[in-house]
Amino acid sequence: MRENAKQYYLDLWNTMQLRPECMDTINGYVKKLLRFKERYEAVEEKTGVPWYVIGVIHGMEAGFDFAGYLGNGDPWNKTSTHEPEGRGPFDSWEEGAVDALTMPQIRDAEPTEWNISGIAYYLESYNGWGYADQNINSAYLWSFSQHYTSGKYIADRVWSDTAISDQCGAMVQLKRLLELRPDIKIPEATI
């Protein structure tokens, strides 16, 4: 885990600039996030994880496809073969989502407050600390901002220094969501 994680995440958040050439893609992610808000809220009621956090995870893990398990994008109606392996099958996407968000290692990472630094820590824990081990900012969080340029896991436990994420990072999605929807309030967030 990173030392001074709260300040580290706040500094990245407060200095983050969304890449102008990625804005169409970023807006597409946020549009899907908002389209499925009611489904995410149903899972929030069962887990306490904010709907927008569930939504960005869904975008990262399954490309907003409700056929994919929230834990890794594998089909939720089959036993998962990627990390976390051996989960499911489930009776619905929602049941699988609750499972993914309530696994002990995920519950242990829940912040005491769902503020920006707590959310960033939770999301990095959810995806794994491999980027920190590589000493770079996580693509899972910061891709499509100036805080990430290259390096990513191209498969479970397979690192590439030169690969570049083509996904919109979770914190980038949240930043744009708050710009478009100022009625959504997250502590520590300044736009």
pLDDT tens digits, one per residue of 84-129:
999 999 999 999 999 999 999 999 999 989 999 999 999 999 999 9
Using CA atoms, how far apart are residues 118 and 190, in angstroms rounded to an integer?
A: 15
| CA-wise closest residue to 169 among 103, 136, 120 | 120
Identify whether the C-beta of residue 121 lies closer than 8 Å to the C-beta of residue 5: yes
Q: Tell me what pLDDT residue 156 has.
A: 86
pLDDT tens digits, one per residue of 152-161:
999 888 999 9
CB atoms < 10 A from the CB of 183, how many? 6
pLDDT tens digits, one per residue of 118-146:
999 999 999 999 999 999 999 999 999 99
